[in-house]
Structure 1
């Protein structure tokens, strides 16, 4: 499954009402650490297809979503389960840290 682009229009449906856990990567184009983290998130999404849904939120394009979830630093990865925040990771993380969330 491809990584989803999440926006305020589809966030509730794709992330909060999902029947599987959803990992959301909050990032920005200009963010060097985000560019380092992105391939890790992509690989995680590919290896965990069916177990978890993965989406990305560009904080420059979706500042309301970043604000709603208290994203102060990027990259930030938030795992949602049953519409609630289950875990939050800030900064570049190894794939094993993402795997431990699910």
Structure 2
């Protein structure tokens, strides 16, 4: 098992070096972006229920959602096209999911 973990770690580090991104930074950006996403979504849903302005928290939720992918797009080099397709799909599905959750919770 240790060999597998070492091999996987080496593969991830090599992949990061090849594409000019730091895998640890992507991990932490992803982790913290999801915490921010759910925090801002909760704030936005509460504002919708209380009939208060909700544009700011939903905008911040969208920004939090995009942070790790934006880093990959900006800092990455020689990224294959299929990665950009997956990022676009994640954005579309994420926006749809957020819209659906807000619609359900607001009612």
The answer to whether TM tops 0.5 is: no
Of structures 1 and 2, the one with the larger relative CO (CA 8 A, separation 6+) is 1
Higher CA-based Rg: 2
Whichever structure has more strand as a proportion of its residues is 1
What TM-score do the two structures reach when normalised by structure 2?
A: 0.28
Q: What is the TM-score with the length of structure 1 in the denominator?
A: 0.29
